[in-house]
Chain A
Amino acid sequence: TQLLEQSPQFLSIQEGENLTVYCNSSSVFSSLQWYRQEPGEGPVLLVTVVTGGEVKKLKRLTFQFGDARKDSSLHITAAQPGDTGLYLCAGAIRSGTSYGKLTFGQGTILTVHP
């Protein structure tokens, strides 16, 4: 069974601070995705990384896929209250009928105070 562990589970910071969220596993993933979920809504895809060592940037968000494709990180620079939400990593292993099936981490609840 794939297991994705996210840390920290909770993060409460002040506006303007930087933060990093981690997603780790003992499994090698074909791809890894990050989602953001707001209260009362479903998760929304932020980014997909597929190549070991890959780095993607989305405005103030930087995503990195580990060289061995077992881990990933999400770094937010100068956090804003609008960044508040639940951040989820999700990984997929391409293997027979498992193609297209994502396993989600438990999530990191981020609160950014004005």
Chain B
Amino acid sequence: DAGVIQSPRHEVTEMGQEVTLRCKPISGHDYLFWYRQTMMRGLELLIYFNNNVPIDDSGMPEDRFSAKMPNASFSTLKIQPSEPRDSAVYFCASSPYTGVLYGYTFGSGTRLTVV
């Protein structure tokens, strides 16, 4: 398995533009997570899905952020409009049903810079 695949690896955009981050989880993993990592706040959980259904989006900063999982092999995180404070590394992770015991597999992340 190729692991969790995220694209793009780097994204530089201007303030106010729409940004879409993409994730392909490991086949057979029922849980998908979106995290954001910054030096100040560490790894923050934004939202997670179970069997393509959003379970907890309490970490989504505000209405500018939205996430979808149209099928078991694809998820997107969208920011519209983007702001400089959204600059961070965004990680997608997936896990099997018993992910809490077997751990999460993370992608390599998308480094977002909003100028």
Binding site for B on A (CB under 8 A): 30-31, 33, 35, 40-45, 48, 50, 88, 92, 94, 97-107
Contact = CB atoms under 8 A, between A and B. Distances in A.
In the complex, the 3 A-B pairs of residues with the closest C-beta atoms, listed nearest first? A42-B106, A45-B103, A104-B43
B108 A40 contact: yes
A92 B100 contact: yes
19 contacts: A31-B100, A40-B109, A41-B108, A43-B104, A44-B106, A48-B102, A48-B103, A92-B100, A97-B55, A100-B31, A100-B48, A100-B97, A100-B99, A101-B56, A101-B100, A102-B100, A104-B35, A106-B42, A107-B43
B25 interface: no
Contact of A42 (B93, B99, B100): B93
Interface of B: 4, 31, 35, 42-43, 45, 48, 50, 55-56, 91, 93, 95, 97, 99-109
B55 A88 contact: no
Given A97-B55, A100-B50, A103-B45, A43 B106 contact: yes
Contacts of A42: 4, 91, 93, 106-109
Given A33-B103, A92-B100, A101 B93 contact: no
Interface centre among B43, B101, B104, B107, by most chain A C-beta atoms within 10 angstroms, is B43
Contacts of B97: 100
A67 to B, nearest CB: 20
Contact of A41 (B31, B42, B45, B109): B109
